[in-house]
Amino acid sequence: MQEFVHFLQHDVLARISPPLGALPDQIVLLGAILVGAAPIVAFMAVIAMAWTYGERRIAGFIQARYGPNRVGPEGVLQPLADGIKLLAKEDIAPAGADRPLYELAPLLVFVGALLPFVALPFSEKWVISSMAAGVFYVLAFEAIEVIGIIMAGWAPNSKWSLYGGMRLAAQMVAYEIPMGLCLLTVVALAGTLNLGQICQMQGGAFGVGNWMVWPWVSPFATLAFFMFFVGGLAATKRAPFDLPEAESELVAGFHTEYSGIRFAFFFMAEYAAMYVVCAVATVCFLGGWHGPFREWLAPAAGAPTISDLLGKAVQVKTADGAWFVWANLWGALSVLGKWAFWKPMLYELLGAFYLIAKSFFLLFVMVWMRWTLPRIRIDQVIYMCLKVLLPFSLLCVLGAAAQTVFTDWNLLHWLLSAGK
């Protein structure tokens, strides 16, 4: 955090205009947060919108029908139309609703879905806060969403909502444990809680050799990956774990009584939460930003960083006055014309592409499962968690711990080096 503020102060602002560089830390940080939060909210909204469209088109394909294909080419603008519709809809609250809680709940759910993005890397360098306890943080802040949903279950004074909220609480609290243990398996192997570091070590041959999910890296992580995904389905209340909103049973579960934009918040939060689970799975098990051909773009040792380039381009440091500000701005823009600037940029972009593509593949699997599988029953949900996932995830943690102690986090490495 401090480094980032420092970078902004000295390498960006001060070079544009020295007085800007003298701005206090807190102001810079606040500005960065405000400027940075917008892309996150935008990214989350785009993901949610893209996947409402994607989900409906995939569902259409699976169910031998078209899905939305009227608004814009192939219906891609459907989410926009839906968004406008939801905004324009009347906001109805049941007469017996607990108004303050009723209005707070969707916001809480939305915020809860947003918070994990803070620690979630999008690429090697593109991460808002590369915090030491990133894995732990992502898990913890899902709890806020749970509270929001319990609130949404209670506030409308509807029994359907209440049942939905209760089912969700039971389900999410239960599945947090095996999910945490599955991540712990990776943490034990990697020796760090930092999402970035966990991801960084998974490069290997051709960018795919060392992914945690491969059984030759660690069979325990392979098992943990599948269990984490199952737990993720439960935590994001997706089929076959969609009991909190089971349509044929609970009408719409916890969001039965919500309409308009409040409903849209739940909707966006669901897709955001799905993306978070998939992205965490990608970072921890599927090599994150690693992928083929990315090494070719890797910056050579001693190659100038973007910051260096900026420094070189912006020569005028001492002089004052408006003219120099414009000169420096021009200098900064001229960097855009240099391959040395674009190479590291492309390197990051390709990383982001791999990470998001893999996450989207997992999201696709989630959607695919939803339109294929029936729903299981609440007792089976809990049975599955406590008697299947929990023991096996404990086994994974133990196994991974034993593996790191006796061999190496990467079994293949160990076997190869043992041969030497």
What tokens does 1 get? 């955090």
**Beta-carbon count within 10 A of 359 CB:** 25
Q: How far is the CB of 128 from another protein (least distance, A)?
A: 14
Q: Do the Cβ atoms of 398 and 189 come closer than 8 Å?
A: no
Chain positions contacting another protein, by CB under 8 A: 2, 22, 24-27, 29, 59, 62-65, 98, 101, 131-133, 136-137, 139-144, 146-147, 150-151, 153-154, 159, 162-163, 165-166, 169-170, 172-173, 176, 193, 239-240, 242-243, 246-251, 370-380
Nearer to another protein, 90 or 379 (CB): 379
Report the 3 state secondary structure along 184-203: HHHHHHHCCCCHHHHHHCCC
Q: How far is the CB of 224 from another protein (least distance, A)?
A: 19
Q: How far is the CB of 143 from another protein (least distance, A)?
A: 3
Nearer to another protein, 26 or 318 (CB): 26
d(C-alpha 346, C-alpha 327), whole Å: 27
Nearer to another protein, 2 or 73 (CB): 2
Q: How many CA atoms lie within 13 A of 200 on its CB side?
A: 11
Q: Is the peptide bond before 240 cis (omega within 30 degrees of 0)?
A: yes
The amino acid present at 104, given as its one-letter code, is L
Nearer to another protein, 346 or 373 (CB): 373
Q: How far is the CB of 222 from another protein (least distance, A)?
A: 21
Q: How far is the CB of 166 from another protein (least distance, A)?
A: 6
Nearer to another protein, 10 or 312 (CB): 10
d(C-alpha 14, C-alpha 8), whole Å: 8
What tokens does 90 get? 């009347």
Nearer to another protein, 65 or 420 (CB): 65
158: helix, strand or coil: coil
Nearer to another protein, 59 or 332 (CB): 59
Looking up tokens 């943080």, which residue turns up? Answer: 137
CA 365 to chain centroid: 16
Q: How far is the CB of 380 from another protein (least distance, A)?
A: 6
Q: How far is the CB of 326 from another protein (least distance, A)?
A: 27
Tell me the CA distances in angstroms from 8 to 3, 5, 11, 12, 14, one per residue in order: 9, 5, 6, 5, 8
DSSP string, 104-148: HHHHHHHHHHHGGGGT--SSSS--S---TTHHHHHHHHHHHHHHH
**Beta-carbon count within 10 A of 256 CB:** 22
Q: How far is the CB of 112 from another protein (least distance, A)?
A: 10
Nearer to another protein, 46 or 132 (CB): 132
